[in-house]
């Protein structure tokens, strides 16, 4: 359940962040930027945020694993499958959440993007 809520939250935040920049994307495309380059820029920015979030999340998980081990029965200190699968899934969701709205934003005509707000 936690993983589902995390994926929905990440998708919502990343999509909302890009949807706020539709006007900026329209200006870039109107000035001659290639839509592929604009999508690439948005993906790089999203990947940076994802990497920072995963780094902090893993650091916190490692730090709290000793506490959780004492509270929960059958949970090891380093459950490798969990420490690998969860960040990979969340990174995939976050990158998809960046790509879908970026793709839609770069398909909008610049004149329509200016009228969004």
pLDDT (tens digit per residue) in 81-92 = 888 888 998 899
Say if pTM beats, i.e. exceeds, 0.75. yes
35 alpha-carbon distance from chain centroid: 20
* pLDDT value at 3 more than 80: no
Cα–Cα distance, 36 to 65 (Å, whole number)? 42
> What average pLDDT does this structure show over 15-19?
85
Give the rounded percent of residues in the chain with a pLDDT score beyond 70. Answer: 95
Go through 8-32 and write b for each residue having 16 or more CB atoms within 10 A of its CB, e for each that does not.
Answer: eebbeebbebbeebbeebbebbeee
Question: What pLDDT sits at residue 44?
Answer: 93
Average pLDDT of the chain is 85
* pLDDT value at 77 more than 80: no
Torsion of CA 66, 67, 73, 79, to 10 degrees: -40
* pLDDT value at 73 more than 80: no
Environment class of 53 (CB within 10 Å of its CB; exposed 0-12, middle 13-18, buried 19+)? middle
């Amino acid at each position: 359940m936690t993983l589902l809520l995390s994926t929905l939250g990440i998708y919502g935040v990343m999509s909302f962040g890009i949807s706020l920049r539709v006007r900026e994307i329209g200006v870039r495309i109107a000035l001659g930027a290639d839509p592929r380059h604009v999508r690439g820029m948005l993906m790089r920015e999203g990947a940076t945020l994802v990497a920072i979030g995963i780094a902090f999340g893993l650091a916190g998980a490692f730090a709290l694993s000793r506490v959780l081990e004492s509270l929960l029965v059958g949970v090891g200190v380093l459950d490798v499958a969990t420490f690998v699968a969860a960040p990979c899934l969340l990174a995939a969701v976050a990158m998809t959440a960046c790509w879908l709205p970026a793709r839609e934003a770069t398909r909008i005509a610049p004149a329509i993007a200016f009228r969004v707000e």
